[in-house]
Amino acid sequence: MPAPVPVPEFRRFYVPIRLKYVLVLAVALAWAGLSVKLSQPWLHELSAHVGFALALVVIMFIAYVPGFMNAFLIGSILADRRPRLRRFERLPDVCVLVACYNEAENIADTLTSLSRQDYPGEIEVVVIDDGSIDDSAAIARATAADQARPGLRIRVLNQPKNGGKSKALNRGLTETRQALVVTVDGDSYLRPDALRKLVERFLSDPAGTVAVAGAVLVRNSRENWLTRSQEWDYFHGIAAVKRMQSMYHGTLVAQGAFSLYTRESLEQAGGWPECVGEDIVLSWALLKTGARIGYCEEACLFTRVPEKLGQFSKQRQRWSRGLMEAFARHGSLLFKPRMTTLFIWWNLLFLPLDLVYTLAFIPGLILALFGYYWIAGIMTLLVLPLAALWNLIIFRVQSKMFKSQDLRVRRNISGFLFYTLAYTMILQPVCVLGYAAEILRLRKTWGTK
């Protein structure tokens, strides 16, 4: 493979990433300090009803912590100047592992999209059917025969019984030899340039990068109010957080739906761990070694999100349990001296954030309807300008990315309104259920359907 030749780029002024980190952190802390000062009347009033300690905890996780997080996120997105992707005439051979369980309706589309990749290298696609009880395996084999072409090999492996996603992926890892391994979910559809851009980002990123997360977007957003709101969650929230984390050299989750890993790093980590959050636990194991995980916003994959509230609840509970699994196995990352340590602590705060929102803020909204503004009142409105600014900035950044990919942001006003005003009222209580399920050690299952 020829040596990479970077595109010449003239830079008027370069700010080192660590200096950006310090400046953004300072601004976020200043905003948090201003919030503390402005909230004193609110704190005094609420203390009269519930006591100082409880009032401080409630206001901290309703206003102070979310305000700091939003300010840091806004500053990071504005300061992000990532290098352009390098182009190559030839790219390394890759294997694509597709763990599949009861995906008869989707697996043909997934394999068809993989067959249409403009990747300048050899691709081996391995579908691991994890004991499906529908026609997933038969459809995958038929599609593999139809889509056969030079430079692409598709084969299907059968697991004797359903054993979970990690076992399926580890089987695929042992059955392949390529140095670069990509995972794709069986209900996805890749843009024709997605695989190429994912590998180009890996080759363009700083030394020490062992994994790169792709951009996962919503494919079935037109189905109902729930999928319409999830479209904004993936487009705004998840994408923004991954972009911010990768800027500081440590995306916390190289999601199983679409990510690239080096085989060497996977083997050193022992493959995918057996748990419901196999992707986040693996990612944290890689970060523990000091490695870097990147993010490629130009490599777009569209996935089917849950269409029913019960499916959505199971999925997000699984994500919450995965976060707790990551802390249980790799909690020492909280004390590892690197920029991304902030985000590990950030994730640690999700539990009290979700609890306070569920047990205090939502009841506070109900009290406000009856004229009791102890929790939700005028002071809580102060977070709205920052939230509006955050949405405006990330929309601008994501729209620019879409335009560069010849994609158009779909008009989805109703979904956006629900996402900004009510989505968290469903999401955060569901996360609390996930934490409780993990603490109580309830049965774990793979899948959201």
In this predicted structure, what is the pLDDT of residue 343? Answer: 94
In this predicted structure, what is the pLDDT of residue 172? Answer: 97
Q: What is the pLDDT of residues 223-282, one digit of tens each?
A: 999 999 999 999 888 999 999 999 998 899 999 999 999 999 999 999 999 999 999 999
CA Rg value for the chain: 22
Cβ neighbourhood burial of 373 (10 Å; 0-12, 13-18, 19+): middle
Residue range 130-154: average pLDDT?
A: 94
φ, ψ at 103 (rounded to 5°): -115, 40
Q: Show the domain range for 277.
A: 94-335
Q: Does 240 map to a domain? A: yes
Confidence band of 383 (pLDDT split at 50, 70, 90): low
CA-based nearest residue to 101, from 190, 185, 172: 185
Helix (H) or strand (E) segment spanning residue 168: helix 165-174
DSSP code, position 441: T
Q: Does 195 map to a domain? A: yes
**Quick check: 387 pLDDT over 70?**
yes
The domain total for the chain is: 1
Q: Does 193 map to a domain? A: yes
Strand order from edge to edge, sheet including 292-303: 152-159, 123-130, 94-100, 180-185, 258-262, 209-218, 292-303, 188-190
Confidence band of 4 (pLDDT split at 50, 70, 90): very low
Task: Give dist(CA 69, CA 25) in Å, integer.
Answer: 10
Q: Does 376 map to a domain? A: no
CATH of the domain at 182: 3.90.550.10
Q: Does 230 map to a domain? A: yes
Q: Does 73 map to a domain? A: no
Please count the other Cβ atoms lying within 10 Å of the Cβ belonging to residue 29.
Answer: 13
Q: What is the pLDDT of residues 73-121, one digit of tens each?
A: 999 999 988 777 888 889 999 999 999 999 999 999 999 999 999 999 9
48 Cβ contact partners less than 8 Å away, ≥ 6 residues apart: none
Q: Does 57 map to a domain? A: no
Q: Does 439 map to a domain? A: no
| DSSP line for 250-312 | --S---TTEEEEEHHHHHHHTSS-SSTTHHHHHHHHHHHTT-EEEEEEEEEEEEPPP-SHHHH
